[in-house]
Amino acid sequence: MFSTLAVWILALAALASAVLLARFIARWQRTPRAQPTFSFEEYDIPVDLINLTGAGPETFGPIAAGHIQHLEQSIGLDPDHFILEIGSGIGRDAIQLTKILSPKGRYIGVDIIKRSIDWCASNISRRFPNFSFVHYDLKDQLHNPTGTMQTQKIRLPITDGSVDRIILWSVFTHMFRADILHYLIEFERVLRPDGLIFATCFIVNDAIIASAQKNDLTPYGLRFAHLAESGCYINDPAHPLGAVAYTEQALQETIAKAGLLQKTMQRGNWSGHFPDLPAGAQDTMILSRKPVP
Ligand SMILES: C[S@@+](CC[C@H](N)C(=O)[O-])C[C@H]1O[C@@H](n2cnc3c(N)ncnc32)[C@H](O)[C@@H]1O
């Protein structure tokens, strides 16, 4: 009699434990797991978001330092500048710019990856209130496949004629011409009369495309063998916005249509066509508003 009761008690206890364990596992599975992070200066940056910039944690710092050096040399940075960065990613440049801009300076970063924008707002804006970040839910196969918004609906939350510097690292390399034109028209509106735009891109002609196909210097296998529209080549028809290149003429027409002026165009050697230059870098354009006659 006693042993039958003991067996029942043990069976019930086992059942209760099993139910509790199942509940615990279900709750554990629902709890969002912390992503691995990379410790950089005083920040812990989610590694998966660093990877979405196209480069990994090991090069995060060196690329950031290279960016700032390039910007200082080509467009100049001043502590009181108002800087707009399109494609701010996980704050590679913004973190460096917190050390350059004074409290009178201002920075706005724009990106289409919501988690990156949220991370930057929680970690950078919290310490530097003059740094803010804006998310646009634009559809992009690579960076935001579920996006619902169109670039041409964007109106930047910025007063006319107020921005000193606009920066785009490898953003026009992921965009078609009508969308680039829309951004450039917005830049023309928000840029100060003496302001400058710094944008990297892939600029091609037949010889550069031939060199790219022969040399294959980048890890992305850039060949630009597919004409997408007049003066615009894509690398992979399955991922059209993965990498987009333009002829110089197509870019100049777009820049002129937006009412902007191309001040300089500096070649990078991503294609291997310019052997005197270090390998890898994209081409760079510096644009300004047209002088008032
Ligand atoms: C090559 S990553 C560079 C990120 C960052 N500037 C860096 O150096 O780490 C390009 C960034 O542009 C963003 N991007 C792509 N298309 C965009 C668009 N139409 N508008 C704004 N950002 C865009 C991507 O989400 C990505 O963060």
Distance 249 CA to ligand 1 centre (A): 24
- The preferred substitution site among 111, 124, 135, 170 for testing ligand 1, maximizing ligand atoms within 8 Å of CB, is 111
Nearest CA to ligand 1 atom 2: 53
pTM of the model: 0.89
Distance 34 CA to ligand 1 centre (A): 24
Topology classification of domain 56-289: Rossmann fold (3.40.50)
Nearest CA to ligand 1 atom 14: 87
Percentage of residues of the chain with pLDDT beyond 70? 88
pLDDT for res 113? 96
Distance 242 CA to ligand 1 centre (A): 12
pLDDT for res 25? 44
200-256 pLDDT, tens digit per residue, is 999 999 999 999 999 877 767 899 999 999 999 999 999 999 999 999 999 999 999
Distance 251 CA to ligand 1 centre (A): 19
Question: Comparing 3 with 125, which gets the higher pLDDT?
Answer: 125
pLDDT for res 17? 54
- The preferred substitution site among 174, 184, 200, 270 for testing ligand 1, maximizing ligand atoms within 8 Å of CB, is 174
- The set of protein residues with a Cβ atom below 6 angstroms from ligand 1 is 53-54, 86-89, 92, 110-113, 138, 140, 143, 151, 169-171, 174-175
Nearest CA to ligand 1 atom 5: 89
Could you tell me the end-to-end alpha-carbon distance of the chain, in angstroms, rounded to an integer? 107
One-letter amino acid for residue 222 of the chain: L
The domain segmentation of the chain, as residue ranges, is 56-289
107-160 pLDDT, tens digit per residue, is 999 999 999 999 999 999 999 999 999 999 999 888 899 999 999 999 999 999
Q: Using the predicted structure, report yes or no on whether residue 13 has a pLDDT greater than 70.
A: no
Distance 233 CA to ligand 1 centre (A): 19
26 Cβ contact partners less than 8 Å away, ≥ 6 residues apart: none
What are the strands, taking DSSP E only, across the chain? 37-40, 43-46, 82-86, 106-111, 131-135, 163-168, 191-204, 226-229, 232-234, 244-247, 260-266, 283-289
pLDDT for res 273? 95
Token digits of residue 260: 């902007």
Distance 170 CA to ligand 1 centre (A): 7
Q: Using the predicted structure, report yes or no on whether residue 30 has a pLDDT greater than 60.
A: no
Report the alpha-carbon distance of residue 80 to residue 68 in Å, rounded: 16
CA distances from 268 to 83, 88, 139, 172, 193 (A): 24, 21, 28, 15, 28
Q: Using the predicted structure, report yes or no on whether residue 85 has a pLDDT greater than 50.
A: yes
Distance 53 CA to ligand 1 centre (A): 7
Report the alpha-carbon distance of residue 151 to residue 143 in Å, rounded: 14
Number of residues in the chain: 293
Nearest CA to ligand 1 atom 11: 87
Render 7-62 in DSSP notation, one character per residue.
HHHHHHHHHHHHHHHHHHHHHHHHSPPPPPEEEETTEEEEHHHHHTTTS-GGGHHH
Helices (H), 98-228: 114-120, 177-190, 206-215
Q: Are 183 and 152 in contact (CB under 8 A)?
A: no
Q: Using the predicted structure, report yes or no on whether residue 93 has a pLDDT greater than 90.
A: yes
Distance 199 CA to ligand 1 centre (A): 12
Q: Are 203 and 233 in contact (CB under 8 A)?
A: no
Per-residue b or e along 122-161, where b marks 16 or more CB atoms closer than 10 Å to that residue's CB: ebbbeebeebbbbbbebebeebbeebeeebeebebebeee
272-288 pLDDT, tens digit per residue, is 999 899 888 999 999 99
Q: Are 287 and 263 in contact (CB under 8 A)?
A: yes
- Beta-strand pair 232-234/191-204: unpaired
